Amino acid sequence: MSGKSSWIPYLQVTPLVLVLLLFFVVPIALVVIVSFFRYQMLTGLTPAFTFASYLDFLSNPTTWWLYFSTLKFTLIVLVLTFVIGFWIAYFLVFHVRSLIIAMGLFLVCTVPFWTSDIIRMIAWRPVLGREGLINDALVSSGVVSHPLSWLLYSNFSVILAYVYLDTLFMIVPIFNSMARIDRALLEVAVDAGASRWAAIRDIVLPLSKTGIALGALFVVTLVMGDFFVINVMSGGLAGSAMTGMANDLQVLNYPRAAANAVILLVIVLLIASGIFRLVDVRRELVR
Amino acid sequence: MTETLLTATRTAARPAARASGEIRLIDVTKSFSPGSYAVREINLTIPDGCYCCLLGPSGCGKTTILRMIAGHETPTAGEISIGGHSVLGLPPGRRGTAMMFQSYALFPHLSVLDNVAFYLKMRGIRRDERRRQARAMLERVQLDHLRDRMPAQLSGGQQQRVALARSLITNPRVLLLDEPLSALDEFLRLRMRGELKSLQTELGITFVHVTHTQPEAIALADLVVVMETGQIEQAASAAAIFDRPATPYVARFMGGQNVLTGRVMQLADARPRLESSEGWIFELPAAPAPPAGATVSVAIRRDRVALSRHDSRGNSVPPNAIAGSVEATEYQGSYFKVTLNVGMKHAFVANVSDTAFAAEPVAAGDVVLASWRAEHVHVLSRPDLGDAGVPYLDTTE
């Protein structure tokens, strides 16, 4: 009996272990290994253990500029998606009385996700372009004399697209943690004489922090790992950490792209661990 | 423990000149959807310093009344005043009331100390000052050693004390308690019940306590308000409710009573009598005499009923008695609860003292005569239509 039962747990975890090994550990290990390979313009890759790619990568001023740009976008988008996502979730949870309507509105939030990122990004162009909907309306109504050029292919359009794409990832976890707040807690706050703002500050916000942390994690990874949105919406004028990686891949400089990937991974992990340090998500989830 | 809770609040929760906590509800109606009423045209005055229990089955509107007094619901019509001033339109925080919620609703992210200090924080009192006051309150309820704990780390009884301390810290003139004891186990419930009562006596403020448990209401309340389907069936002292229920519903709901119904027969020279459809004869008190022919229900306390063996052959049943066979006897410590099958919808119950039972024991299957004295018959204000609620609980504990 005991001999039989001792290997059964291992058997039970085997499928998951295999999946994780094959699709998670092996690819990352490959990236790490390749990042130490030697690259020469004409001969290509040679297996080696050299920090040349890392030195090359870090000594390039463009790297620093791209990373700074990525972090800047991440921070701005994080703030905007938090503010918008928190209020939408708050509205859905505490102001929509009917659960059915709340669920309906929640589904409406997901409607844009029924089509691909690419189409949704392209769709912004006729809205924001020089002869787009907004500029046409502004010019014809006489608000501005010339079309606004900063609406498209600018930091503005990049941030707009990020917020548009990523706010849902903030709404869902915040909605989830807000929905678990006992309504009686808000009534106690009202009983104590709390204003709506005080109740939000002292009750809703602290009790939603798990959702906020998870949402922030989603947004950070999405924005830091983005290559496509920034390319399309900035018209190639702005770049992200991934832009450098894409350029390296085009010239087959895999080691430098891999070094870039490892560094990006480390930075995202540091941010994630920072978030988890602020909020004990695991403890909060079992609460 | 009771002592500590008392000394606790002696100094803490009694301001120099306390505002009156008299609550008046005038024609209060609350409707959540057109055509249906949670409560309807309620008129009730709860005197200052009264321990009032709103008693009724779930869905009878008792919690709605509590929440309207607190200001968490607005009446559809009617007037609510506390201490002689209308509180309609005032937010809960400015009514001088404090509410203790059913699940205690302690803030899970705040320590015990910060939970207790919360009401003071919302009133804009400085951090060190409110913490000092909260600590003083916790010391007095002997929970100071737990001040840094989170609510999830407390037992049910401790959570309740924290919730109580939290609501009392602002010196309310009215404390509203929504089923405060329902989450506790039997032992703690009895202990906390005693503490609540002594706390109220000591503080002298008005307590309004919602419960669906009759013994709780009887043990605690100066004023018991029995409710059903949004209306008040009877509001009176616990003794009056128990001894002289107004309606068949109250008699059944409070337990301890047998409800009998019959038609009034008026004989020229005798007391008015009631004849039931089974042919039993019950004498009524001389006054007030109901009109002949009217259908009237009476209540007879279970412990006023005497049992004697009855030979059904040839012996007719005298007035003020009813014959039946014993269905069950249950020993209750100080008395025996004897359930009789008398051929009516509801069983007839006699609570026989242990000495009386020892003198003439009965067992299941015996045919007995249950009799009572005419002065123990209590006439109810309306006839039992048979659909009045069955007792939720026996008053036996």
Instruction: Indicate the pTM of the whole model.
Output: 0.78
Q: In the numeric block, which tokens belong to residue B381?
A: 């204000």
| A192 to chain B, closest Cα gap in Å | 5
A105-119 average pLDDT score? 84
Nearest to A193 among B93, B109, B166 (CB): B93
Residue B241: how many CA atoms within 13 Å on its side-chain side? 31
- Check CB contact under 8 Å for B99 and A184: no
In a domain, A55, yes or no: no
Residue with tokens 């109606």: B29
Q: Provide the CATH number for the domain around residue A102.
A: 1.10.3720.10
pLDDT tens digit sequence for A39-94: 887 777 888 888 888 998 899 898 899 999 999 999 999 999 999 999 999 999 99
Q: How far is residue B51's CA from residue B205's CA, in Å, rounded to a whole number?
A: 8
Selecting from A182, A202, A207 the residue whose C-beta is nearest the C-beta of B105 gives A182
- List, as one string, the DSSP characters of B167-194: HHTT--SEEEEESTTTTS-HHHHHHHHH
Is the reported ipTM for this assembly greater than 0.90? no
Q: With 50 as the cut, is the pLDDT of residue A223 above it?
A: yes
DSSP A131-176: TSHHHHHHHHTTS-SS--STTSSSHHHHHHHHHHHHHHHHHHHHHH
Residue A195 lies in a domain: yes
CA atoms of A34 and B76, how far apart (whole Å) = 73
Query: How close does chain B come to A181, measured CA to CA in Å?
Result: 10
In terms of DSSP bridges, do strands B257-265 and B273-275 run parallel, antiparallel, or are they unpaired?
A: antiparallel
In a domain, A36, yes or no: no
Q: What is the pLDDT of residues B194-211, one digit of tens each?
A: 888 988 998 899 999 999
- In this predicted model, which residue has the larger pLDDT, B121 or A106? B121
Angle at A240 between CA A237 and CA A242, to 5 degrees: 125
Residues contacting A110, CB < 8 A, separation 6+: A168
Domain membership flag for residue A134: yes
Residue B175 and residue B98 in contact, taking contact as beta carbons nearer than 8 Å: yes
Give the pLDDT confidence of A236-279 residue by residue, as tens digits. Answer: 778 888 888 888 888 888 899 999 999 999 999 999 999 888 88
- Which residues on A lie below 8 Å from B121 (Cβ)? 192, 202
Residues B85-111, mean pLDDT to the nearest whole number: 91
Flag if A188 and B101 touch (Cβ within 8 Å).
yes
A218 domain residue, yes or no: yes
The tokens for B51 are: 């321990």
Asked if the Cβ–Cβ distance from B123 to A203 is below 8 Å, we say no
Determine the average pLDDT of the residues in A9-18: 92
List all residues 6 or more positions away from B65 whose beta carbon is below 8 Å from its beta carbon: B25, B28, B39, B42, B44, B54, B227
Any domain includes A156: yes
Lowest mean pLDDT among A102-106, A109-113, A280-284: A280-284
B117 at A interface, C-beta within 8 A: no
Considering only CB atoms, A191 lies closest to which of B98, B121, B152, namely B98
Cα gap B255→B260, rounded to integer Å: 14
| Facing A192 at nearest CB: one of B93, B108, B109 | B93
- Residue from the list A185, A193, A207 with its beta carbon closest to the beta carbon of B105: A185
Name which of B73, B118, B150 to mutate to probe chain A: the one with the most chain A Cβ atoms within 10 A of its Cβ. Answer: B118
Distance CA A80, CA B311 (A): 90
pLDDT value for B394: 40
- Angle at which helices B156-168 and B112-122 pack, to 10 degrees? 20
CA distance A218 to chain B (A): 24
**Residue among B119, B81, B97, B60 at smallest CA distance from B177:** B97
Report the C-alpha gap between A122 and A31 in whole angstroms. 32
Contact with chain A for residue B125, Cβ under 8 A: no
Is residue A146 assigned to a domain? Answer: yes
Residue type for B176, please? L
- The number of angstroms, rounded, from the C-alpha of B54 to the middle of its chain's C-alpha atoms is 6
Task: Say yes or no: B108 contacts chain A, CB-CB below 8 A.
Answer: yes
Q: Are A221 and A99 in contact (CB under 8 A)?
A: no
- How close B57 comes to chain A (CA, Å)? 21
Tell me whether residues A207 and B119 touch, CB distance under 8 A: no
Q: Return residues 51-70 of B near A (CB < 8 Å).
A: 70
Residue A21 lies in a domain: no
Residue ranges of chain A whose CB lies within 8 Å of a chain B CB: 182, 184-185, 187-194, 198, 202-203, 206-207, 287
Lowest mean pLDDT among A31-45, B139-153, B302-316: B302-316
pLDDT at site A47 = 87
Indicate if the pLDDT at residue B391 is higher than 50: no
Residues in chain B within 8 Å Cβ distance of A198: 122
Q: Which two tokens stand for residue B115?
A: 């939970």
How long a stretch of residues is chain A? 287
Please give the Cα distance from B188 to A56 (Å, whole number): 72
Separation between Cα atoms, residue A242 and residue A229, nearest integer Å:
11
Q: How many angstroms away from the CA of A204 is the closest CA of chain B?
A: 10
CB of B127 within 8 Å of a chain A CB? The answer is: no
pLDDT at residue B186, as a whole number: 86
CB-CB neighbors (< 8 A) of B166 in chain A: 188
Residue B340 near residue B317, CB atoms below 8 Å: no
Q: Determine the distance in angstroms separating the CA of B107 from the nearest CA of chain A, rounded to an integer.
A: 7
Among B91, B121, B152, select the one facing A190 at the smallest CB separation: B91
Report the distance separating Cα B123 and Cα B196, nearest Å: 26
Beta carbons within 10 angstroms of residue B128's beta carbon: 8
In 3D space, the residue among A185, A194, A196, A191 whose CA is nearest the CA of residue B97 turns out to be: A191
Tell me how many domains chain A contains: 1
Question: Which amino acid does the sequence have at B185?
Answer: D
pLDDT of residue B35: 82
Residues 160-189 of chain B with CB under 8 A from chain A are: 166-167, 170
Q: Do A191 and B108 touch (CB under 8 A)?
A: no
Q: Which amino acid is at A215?
A: G
Q: Which residue, A137, A140, A168, is CA-closest to A151?
A: A137
Question: What pLDDT is recorded for position B367?
Answer: 86
Range of the domain at A190: 61-285
Measuring CA to CA, which residue among A234, A28, A249, A25 is closest to residue A128? A234
Whether residue B315 is predicted with pLDDT greater than 70 in this model: the reply is no
B109/A191 Cβ within 8 A:
no
Taking 80 as the threshold, does the pLDDT of residue A7 lie above it? yes
Q: Please write the tens of the pLDDT for every residue from B212-270.
A: 988 899 899 999 999 988 889 999 999 899 888 999 889 888 888 888 888 888 766 67
Which residues does chain B have within 8 Å of residue A193's beta carbon, measured at their own beta carbons?
A: 91-94, 119, 122-123
Short-list B231, B242, B217, B248, CA closest to B54:
B217
Is there a contact between B212 and B219 (Cβ–Cβ < 8 Å)?
A: no
Quick one: pLDDT at residue B8? 44
Q: How far apart are CA A173 and CA A211, in angstroms?
A: 4
- Residue percentage of chain A with pLDDT more than 70: 96
CB contacts < 8 A, A to B, total 60
Taking an 8 Å cut-off on Cβ atoms, the answer to whether A190 and B121 are in contact is no
